[in-house]
Chain A
């Protein structure tokens, strides 16, 4: 009852961070101010703990610009954006979208260098971001004299061999550098995030157990099953997730072939590596199409998504489409299209890897970390 609040001493003076509020609004949380704190959202949410549930309190923190209470809050990542809250929100405040925007800002807050995160989150810098891999790969091709496509050496059977267009060691060098950069950025980000989360909380006990349990849960995608409005996301996300896993295995396998057995690509279609790669590519195409379809289908109830979301989806689409086309065009021996497509494929893959800590790809790492923390601290 109101009197109870009145009699409690004021223990905290809130200084709203107005810029933070504006940033949330600009990041896809434009409906934030419509919230009138009725708490329908927390009740319809099936993934929140019952104790201090989200997202009602997050909506309040966001309206007041209480950045510290949000950015380091594991709850924003326990949210899987089922959008049940958004569908039932009586005011159209779209808590799911607002938390999505806050997660984007959390990624920008923790990733190093932060400036790059701002660029990934803003369409103004899109061309500049793409320019980096374009320049790198262009320089490699130019240095090999492969700008004239007809002069690129062919394989023994006269077929297209991409490694003669851009040598695999050159690609590997670029990607190892990109991946190392991303990994360092992730490690620094997560370290800071963990420190912020655990500030003032004694974190003890069996961390490995929490990690193991979290991984098991992620592998099974259990939490998606609790969503109502966007129930069909489980299949879509599961496909994309395992397709990426398959492609990661394929890539490692290719490294073993090349450097372990000095076995050069292209590999025949019946090679198990090729079978796995192609199956994964098709799964990814199907999965990301489902993701897109679900998002469009649920847009009215769940919200239309932000630039940050759609950039990530578009890049995955571009990777899988250029990847499949590269293979088909190589097999069809259409050089004029095959080489540029392969080039584009490399550019998109670079984009995904190098900018992973700053893009929505980072959700994988931050959400997993938050889930481990929540489990470890008995929050979840």
Chain B
């Protein structure tokens, strides 16, 4: 049993970071395990986020600084928890750390990337562009360290990158490592994945040009995205004048995600503002079953968006999307329930408001309990926070994560008292 109150936080997204800094600032020792090469999770991929519609880095930065200055926090990136055994006060955790092939000497000078001959699809931008196989995940990534993607850096590639580095920061011989940790409690904050839009066969994602997901829209609108923030459609780079948002794309649907993902209505409302601010002539149409904006602030935001005459709302779920004949436009079919007629409407681009699938749906950590949808359930000294537990927005995730920090702290205390 550890002498100190040591807490393992799985996931370095907004929830995990909040739990980590909150717990660490009470004196607990915290270890954060993050799968990506950077911290910040999904929030780091957003263009703007609620409630203040600020760019994500303004919220993440403060947490990064709290981490940097707090000796109680250790974090591992490119690491995944393989199993958890034991009980409250005494958990044994196995963690696999994948090789970054870049050590702490890295000053993020970009020389390796400039020299690197190989490319890889950029999953940070949902595959809409490519990076070199030696890359910084994004320009404000924390830690500011490059990564060599060995799966895409084959043959001479590694050597070329290494030779370009003046700081001896590249270590091609790094191997995956397994580390064992002993902790008193665990907080699962593994977050969510966008629901796989390829599974929505009637919505044409992947086969129909200019059908994208809401998370792709975040990247398209972001100044750090593949188009430097210009909202243009993928097929031909045409500025988007007329956009449709398809709500509940795979959510509230027992064939896909049976639950409401809570954030998609707000996300689409927010994204209408991206396009409306960028292009005064543009028009946006939201197809919905119900607009769900719970809470006074959210409801107010909905009212504000509704005041824009160029944003229309059609009550009726889109259940058919086709390519326009002879153009890259997209034809959307829905029943406008207010008139009771089927409508076919043409758009430059269509955004599928896909929901949040908890990461536990795709990958379960041995030792963690999950419900039938993959949401992590609390189990003695294993707590859960944020979207791994329930779909929620950033503000609620922060509140939830603070609650999880409290629980994690008390687990060790209670276990120490033999309770």
Task: Give the B-binding residues of A (Cβ under 8 A).
Answer: 1, 4-5, 36-44, 48, 50-53, 56-57, 88, 90-92
The A-contacting residues of B in range 319-365, CB under 8 angstroms, are 319-320, 333-335, 337-338, 340-342
Encoded as 1 (CB less than 8 Å from any A CB) or 0, chain B from 128 to 144 comes to 00000000000000000
With contacts A43-B333, A88-B202, A90-B254 taken as known, whether A57 is within 8 angstroms of B340 at the C-beta atoms is yes
Q: Could you list 17 A-B pairs, sorted by A, with CB under 8 Å?
A: A5-B338, A36-B252, A38-B248, A38-B317, A39-B316, A39-B337, A43-B316, A43-B317, A43-B335, A43-B342, A44-B319, A44-B320, A48-B342, A51-B342, A56-B337, A90-B248, A92-B254
Residues in B245-259 with C-beta less than 8 Å from chain A: 248, 252-256
**Are the C-beta atoms of B341 and A50 separated by less than 8 Å?**
yes
CB distance from B251 to the nearest CB of A (A): 9
Cβ 8 A contact of B337, one of A37, A90, A92:
A37
Q: Chain B residues near A42 (CB, 8 Å)?
A: 335, 342
With A39-B335, A42-B335 in contact, is A88–B319 under 8 Å at CB? yes
Picked from A43, A51, A91, the residue with its CB within 8 Å of the CB of B319 is A43
Residue B126 CB within 8 A of the other chain: no
Beyond A88-B255, A91-B253, 13 extra complex contacts between A and B, CB < 8 Å: A1-B306, A1-B313, A38-B289, A39-B289, A39-B337, A40-B317, A40-B319, A41-B319, A42-B335, A43-B319, A51-B342, A53-B341, A88-B202
Give every chain B residue within 8 A of A36 (Cβ-Cβ). Answer: 252, 289
Residues of B within 8 A of A41 (CB): 319
CB of B81 within 8 Å of the partner chain: no
Which residues in A have their C-beta under 8 angstroms from that of B289? 36-39
Residue of A nearest to B253 (CB): A90
Contact for B318 among A37, A43, A51, A56, CB less than 8 A: A43
Q: How far is the CA of A105 from the CA of B248 in the complex (A)?
A: 34
Task: Tell me how far the C-beta of A122 lies from the nearest C-beta in chain B, rounded to whole angstroms.
Answer: 31
Report A-chain residues with C-beta under 8 Å of the C-beta of B253.
90-91
Determine which residue in B255, B319, B333, B334 has the highest number of CB atoms from chain A within 10 A of its CB, and name it: B319
Give the interface centre of A1, A39, A44, A52 by most chain B CB atoms within 10 Å: A39
Query: Is A39 within 8 A of B317, CB to CB?
Result: yes
CB distance from A13 to the nearest CB of B (A): 20
Q: What A residues does B313 contact at CB under 8 A?
A: 1
- B233-251: CB near A (< 8 Å → 1, else 0) gives 0000000000000001000
Residues of A within 8 A of B306 (CB): 1
Complex Cα distance, B315 from A37, in Å, reads 10
- Shortest distance in angstroms between B352's beta carbon and chain A's nearest beta carbon? 14
Q: Which residues of A have CB within 8 Å of B340? A: 52-53, 57
Majority secondary structure of chain B interface residues (helix, strand, loop or mixed): loop
In the assembled complex, how far is the CB of residue B343 from the closest CB belonging to chain A, in whole angstroms?
A: 8
Chain B residues whose CB sits within 8 angstroms of the CB of A56 once the complex forms: 335, 337
Instruction: State the 9 A-B residue pairs at the shortest beta-carbon distance, nearest first.
Output: A90-B253, A43-B319, A50-B342, A39-B335, A38-B317, A40-B319, A38-B289, A42-B335, A39-B316
Quick one: which of B255, B318, B333, B334 contacts A90, CB cutoff 8 A?
A: B255
**Shortest beta-carbon distance from B23 to chain A in Å:** 40
Say which residue of B256, B315, B334 sits within 8 Å of A43 (CB atoms). Answer: B334
Task: Flag B266-282 by CB within 8 Å of A: 1 or 0 each.
Answer: 00000000000000000
Q: Is the CB of B252 within 8 A of A43?
A: no
> Chain B nearest CB: distance from A243 CB in Å?
35
Cβ distance A261 to chain B, nearest Cβ, rounded Å: 58
A351–chain B nearest beta-carbon distance, Å: 39
Could you tell me which residues of chain B, from 188 to 202, have a CB within 8 Å of some CB in chain A? Answer: 202
Q: In the complex, how many residues of chain B place their beta carbon closer than 8 angstroms to a beta carbon of chain A?
A: 24
For residue A353, give the distance in angstroms from its CB to the closest CB of chain B.
Answer: 41
Closest chain B residue, CB of each to CB of A3: B306
Of all chain A residues, the one with the shortest Cβ separation from B248 is A38
Complex: how many Å from CA A278 to CA B110? 83
Please tell me if the beta carbons of A52 and B255 are within 8 angstroms of each other in the complex.
no
How many whole Å from B203's CB to the nearest CB in chain A?
11
CA A51 – CA B341 in complex, angstroms?
Answer: 5
When each residue 114-153 of chain B gets 1 if its CB lies under 8 Å from chain A and 0 otherwise, what string results? 0000000000000000000000000000000000000000
**Residues of the A chain whose Cβ atoms lie less than 8 Å from the Cβ of B316:** 38-39, 43
A322 CB to nearest chain B CB (Å): 42
Q: Which residues of A contact B333 (CB under 8 A)?
A: 43
Contact check, B337 vs A4: say whether CB atoms are below 8 A apart: no
Are B342's CB and A53's CB within 8 A? yes
Alpha-carbon separation in the docked complex, A56 to B316 (Å): 10
A40 to B316, CA, bound (A): 8
Chain B residues positioned under 8 Å from A40 (CB to CB): 317, 319
Chain A residues, Cβ within 8 Å of B320: 43-44
Complex Cα gap A92–B202 (Å):
17
- Give CA–CA (A56, B335) in the complex, Å: 9
Q: For the complex, what is the distance from the CA of A69 to the CA of B338, rounded to whole Å?
A: 18
A37 CA to B248 CA, complexed, in Å: 13
Q: How many whole Å from A125's CB to the nearest CB in chain B?
A: 36
Task: Please report the C-alpha to C-alpha distance between residue A232 and residue B255 in the assembled complex, in whole angstroms.
Answer: 23
Task: Tell me, rounded to whole Å, the shortest Cβ–Cβ distance linking B275 to chain A.
Answer: 20
In the complex, A228 Cα to B242 Cα: how many Å? 31
Residue of B with least CB distance to A46: B320
- Residues of A within 8 Å of B334, CB to CB, are 39, 43
> In angstroms, how far is the closest chain A Cβ from the Cβ of B164?
52
**Closest B residue by C-beta to A57:** B340
List A contacts of B342 (CB < 8 A).
42-43, 48, 50-51, 53
Interchain CA distance A236-B221 in the complex, whole Å: 52
Bound complex: CA A48 to CA B335 (Å): 12
Which chain A residues border B318 with CB–CB below 8 Å? 43
In Å, the complex CA distance between A21 and B319 comes to: 27
Distance in Å: Cβ of A358 to nearest Cβ of chain B: 33
Per the bound structure, the CA–CA distance linking A51 and B248 in Å amounts to 24
Closest chain A CB from B411 CB (angstroms): 39
Q: Which residue of A lies closest to B320 (CB)?
A: A43
A84–B28 Cα distance when bound, in Å, is 56
Neighbouring B residues of A52 by C-beta, 8 Å: 340-341
Beta-carbon contacts under 8 Å, B292-323 to A: 306, 313, 315-320
Bound together, the chains give a CA A183 to CA B77 distance in angstroms of 79
- Taken together as a complex, chains A and B put the C-alpha atoms of A37 and B341 apart, in Å, by 14
Across the interface, do A91 and B254 meet the contact criterion of CB distance under 8 Å? yes
Smallest CB-CB separation from B333: which chain A residue? A43
Partner of A44, one of B202, B252, B337: B202
0/1 per residue, B167-203, Cβ < 8 Å to A?
0000000000000000000000000000000000010
CB <8 Å contact, A90 and B252: yes
Bound-state Cα–Cα, A53 to B289, Å: 17
Rounded to whole Å, the gap between the CB of B286 and the closest CB of chain A is 11
CB distance from B306 to the nearest CB of A (A): 7
Q: Give every chain B residue within 8 A of A53 (Cβ-Cβ).
A: 335, 340-342
Question: In the bound complex, how far is the Cα of B253 from the Cα of A53, in angstroms?
Answer: 21
